[in-house]
């Protein structure tokens, strides 16, 4: 593994320069995080881990890991089959390009060769970073963005592929990879507490450049913005979600908050304010320029010490970039937002394949959108939950991965759904 550095750069027409980032060295750590008991999860479909029967069904297991009768003992009735891992650390993110899958965890990067996982890169990653911070858009090419670190795997010039790490002295809230330009966009929280949206690109000599996109931080009414989610349909069609505070010196209390979405058209940003107490915590949408364009939004106010009810909304994007009325809305009960609680069912992740196909999870349950209904897909094996879902990925062929932390402290899991009918 080579150590690189990130060079600051100016985004045309927006003109904000960031400082150079120092290189980092690789290290492996035995640090692990814990999983709270699922007994603490509130009751009801949306906040409890599903159970399944011992029998996994009678349809074929062809194409699934260890595709024989014995594999039924490792598969849920919903079609997710647990895959053995070469290491025991919790997984934080998963992504794939067809059958070539990658996962990142607290102690490194794993790669799936179609049959088994391999531990291909050892490093230490903080578990507090953004979910789904791992992206791949072409073969043998990987981006991983986490708090304090960026990991890049790619070919430089005529050299072979290699892992390179870069210092990232920022808290990463969300990321999105523009597949058309292979540029990674990050929503970060800076050391002064303000938000920023950066774009990372490959540079000569194996380095990276970081461009500040100049997203608005202050509103004309004396208020301020805090950004926390991102999705794009192309380099000139990017959406960033967050919240607007009505006062300059904001304490981010519920009474002062409104949801906000910023749109970048390739030249400048525009901001649309949404409902009161409806900040946008996460968003994900249809891939590329697929029509119709749609976004899933996770919205709602989350108090620090009390449970709350948030919602997920599917909205259409008009030709002028404006948001349409929700196509569907579903309530998502959430535990307190206090990060020290480390509760399950505390976030929303998703992967959208088209306007009528998507996978979502609230950390405990996995849902599948078919264009009409959002249905729970069982993931428990023989009645035992696989664990807390930190990340998921799906493709148009029906394949899907879920990954996260198992019920046993410090142990990760990854489960594969190979499409078609459930087993």
Q: What is the pLDDT along the chain (423 residues), one digit of tens a residue?
A: 544 545 554 343 333 333 334 334 333 333 332 323 223 333 333 323 433 322 223 333 333 444 444 445 799 999 999 999 999 999 999 999 988 999 999 999 999 999 999 999 999 998 776 656 999 999 999 999 988 889 999 987 666 789 999 998 888 999 999 999 999 999 998 888 889 999 999 998 889 999 999 999 988 777 889 999 999 999 999 999 999 988 766 776 777 889 999 999 999 999 999 988 889 999 999 998 888 999 999 999 888 888 889 999 999 999 999 999 999 999 999 988 877 766 778 889 999 999 999 999 999 999 999 999 999 999 999 999 999 999 999 999 999 999 999 998 889 999 999 975 443
Q: pLDDT value at position 206? A: 87
Q: pLDDT value at position 170? A: 87
Length of the chain equals 423
The domain limits of the chain are 2-418
Fold adopted by 2-418 = Methylamine Dehydrogenase; Chain H (2.130.10)
Tell me, rounded to whole angstroms, the distance of Cα 137 from its chain centroid.
15
Q: pLDDT value at position 222? A: 76
Q: DSSP labels for 119-184?
A: EEEE----TTS-TT-EE-SSTT-EEEEETEEEEEEE--TTSPPEEEEEEE-SEEEEEEEETTTTEE
What is the rounded distance in angstroms from the CA atom of residue 240 to the CA atom of residue 262? 5
How many CB atoms sit inside 10 A of residue 311's CB? Answer: 16
Judge whether 35 and 344 are in contact, CB under 8 Å: yes
Q: Hunting for tokens 């489960």 — which residue is that?
A: 415
Show the DSSP H helices in 26-123 as ranges: none
Q: Dig out the tokens for 149 from the structure.
A: 């670190």
By C-alpha distance, which of 287, 284, 289, 262 is closest to 273?
262
């Amino acid at each position: 593994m080579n150590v690189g550095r990130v060079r600051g750069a100016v985004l045309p027409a927006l003109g904000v320069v960031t400082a150079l980032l120092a290189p980092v060295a690789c290290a492996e750590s035995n640090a692990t995080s814990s999983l709270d008991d699922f007994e603490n999860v509130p009751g009801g479909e949306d906040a409890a881990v599903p159970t399944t029967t011992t029998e996994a069904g009678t349809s074929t297991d062809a194409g699934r890991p260890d595709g024989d009768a014995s594999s039924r003992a490792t598969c849920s009735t919903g079609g997710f089959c647990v895959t053995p891992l070469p290491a025991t650390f919790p997984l934080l993110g998963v992504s794939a390009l067809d059958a070539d899958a990658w996962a990142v965890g607290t102690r490194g990067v794993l790669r799936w060769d179609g049959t088994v996982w391999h531990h291909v890169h050892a490093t230490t990653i903080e578990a507090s970073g953004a979910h789904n911070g791992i992206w791949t858009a072409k073969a043998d090419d990987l981006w991983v963005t986490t708090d304090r670190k960026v990991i890049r795997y790619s070919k430089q010039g005529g050299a072979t592929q290699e892992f390179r790490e870069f210092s990232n002295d920022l808290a990463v809230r969300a990321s999105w990879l523009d597949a058309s330009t292979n540029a990674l966009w990050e929503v970060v929280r800076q050391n002064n507490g303000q938000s920023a949206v950066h774009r990372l690109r490959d540079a000569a000599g194996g380095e990276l450049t970081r461009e500040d996109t100049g997203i608005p931080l202050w509103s004309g009414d004396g208020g301020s913005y805090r950004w926390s989610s991102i999705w794009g349909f192309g380099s000139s069609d990017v959406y960033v979600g967050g919240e607007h505070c009505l006062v300059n010196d904001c304490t981010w209390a519920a009474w002062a908050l409104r949801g906000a979405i910023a749109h970048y058209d390739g030249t400048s940003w525009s901001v649309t304010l949404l409902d009161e107490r409806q900040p946008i915590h996460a968003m994900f949408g249809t891939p590329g320029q697929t029509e119709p364009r749609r976004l899933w939004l996770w919205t709602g106010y989350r108090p620090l010490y009390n449970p709350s009810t948030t919602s997920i909304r599917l909205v259409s994007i008009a030709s002028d970039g404006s948001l349409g009325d929700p196509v569907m809305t579903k309530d998502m009960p959430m535990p307190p937002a206090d990060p020290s609680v480390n509760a399950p069912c505390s976030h929303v992740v998703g992967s959208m394949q088209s306007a009528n196909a998507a996978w979502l999870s609230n950390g405990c349950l996995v849902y599948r959108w078919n264009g009409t209904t959002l249905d729970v897909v069982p993931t428990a094996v023989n009645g035992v939950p696989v664990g807390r879902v930190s990340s998921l990925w799906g493709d148009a062929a029906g394949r899907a991965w879920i990954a996260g932390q198992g019920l046993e402290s410090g142990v990760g899991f990854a489960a594969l759904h190979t499409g078609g009918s459930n087993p």
